[in-house]
């Protein structure tokens, strides 16, 4: 059943039905005022509300005075929910189609004054100085050609908390002794729980942008390497993280030159010196 068929009797009474269809296809099912939904027959059920129900109890109910960044905001579901709690939200995405949906949905929900949507790549954040109290980095990492670079950049934008989610390989095992490995003992890398990430050469689920699938141990290790500490796991593949004050990322200390080079800022940095 299409959205058109489901709501055809209401079309004359509510012009938003036609607007939803014109803005389609949708990936976020956003609940608009008066119980209208943008994707009521979503293949994943009420998505992403069901994921939000895992996350929302672990975030402050009152976000007035907070700034928030929604990386890969899609049609703006999470941005709108954070704005409803009082945050000043910036949502970024590379797809103008999703951003058009997000701006429309925010306006319908009366949140357009609390959310700004920008067309940006994750890597573009390296050229900003903005810090955000709360960063949502959900469902993006495995789409990045350069995942550790993306995580390093996003982590530097975090002021207080980051909620992180990514597609993973099955398994929750964690090897705790991975430091000091000798080059002749690399067989240990094949042990269950060794941090590793599968590379997807062609496509996964018919999506050519699905590049990576880290295991659970790798997610935690990558977050630590980005200067974060895992505060808790909020659900399957969902992590709450904050800066680790005694374990800063190497790209903010001794290896900063590599980050600057990778983001095309080496010359600019030299000119400032």
- What's the pLDDT tens digit per position in 206-226? 999 999 999 999 999 999 999
Tokens of 6: 């489901």
CA distance 68 to 134: 5
Per-10-residue mean pLDDT of the chain, 273 residues long, equals 50 79 96 91 94 97 98 98 98 98 97 97 96 98 98 98 97 93 93 96 95 98 98 96 95 95 82 59
E-state strands within 55-131: 67-71, 88-93, 115-119
Tokens of 179: 């430091």
How far is C-alpha 252 from the chain's CA centre?
Answer: 21
Q: What is the pLDDT of residue 270?
A: 61
Summarised one tens digit per residue, pLDDT across range 129-141 is: 999 999 999 999 9
Q: What is the pLDDT of residue 1?
A: 45
Torsion of CA 260, 261, 264, 267, to 10 degrees: 80
Closest CA to 47 of 70, 28, 64, 23: 28
């Amino acid at each position: 059943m299409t959205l058109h068929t489901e709501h055809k009797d209401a079309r004359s009474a509510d012009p938003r039905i036609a607007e939803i269809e014109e803005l389609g296809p949708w990936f976020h099912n956003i609940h608009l005022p008066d119980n209208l939904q943008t994707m009521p027959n979503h293949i994943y059920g009420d998505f992403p509300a069901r994921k939000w129900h895992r996350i929302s109890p672990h975030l402050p109910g009152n976000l007035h005075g907070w700034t928030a960044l929604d990386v890969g905001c899609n049609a703006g579901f999470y941005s709108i929910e954070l704005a409803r709690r009082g945050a000043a939200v910036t949502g970024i995405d590379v797809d103008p189609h999703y951003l058009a949906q997000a701006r429309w949905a925010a306006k319908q929900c009366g949140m357009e004054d609390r959310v700004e949507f920008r067309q940006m790549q994750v890597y573009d954040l390296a050229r900003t100085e903005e810090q955000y109290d709360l960063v949502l980095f959900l469902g993006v990492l495995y789409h990045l050609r350069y995942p550790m670079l993306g995580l390093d950049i996003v982590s530097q934008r975090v002021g207080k908390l980051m909620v992180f989610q990514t597609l993973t390989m099955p398994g929750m095992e964690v090897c705790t002794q991975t430091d000091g490995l000798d080059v002749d003992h690399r067989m240990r890398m094949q042990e269950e729980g060794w941090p590793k990430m599968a590379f997807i050469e062609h496509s996964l689920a018919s999506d050519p942008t699905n590049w990576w699938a880290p295991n659970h141990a790798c997610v935690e290790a990558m977050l630590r390497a980005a200067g974060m500490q895992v505060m808790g796991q909020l659900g399957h593949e969902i992590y709450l993280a904050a800066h680790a004050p005694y374990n800063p990322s190497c790209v903010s200390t001794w290896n900063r030159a590599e980050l600057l080079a990778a983001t095309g800022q080496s010359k600019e940095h030299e000119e400032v010196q």
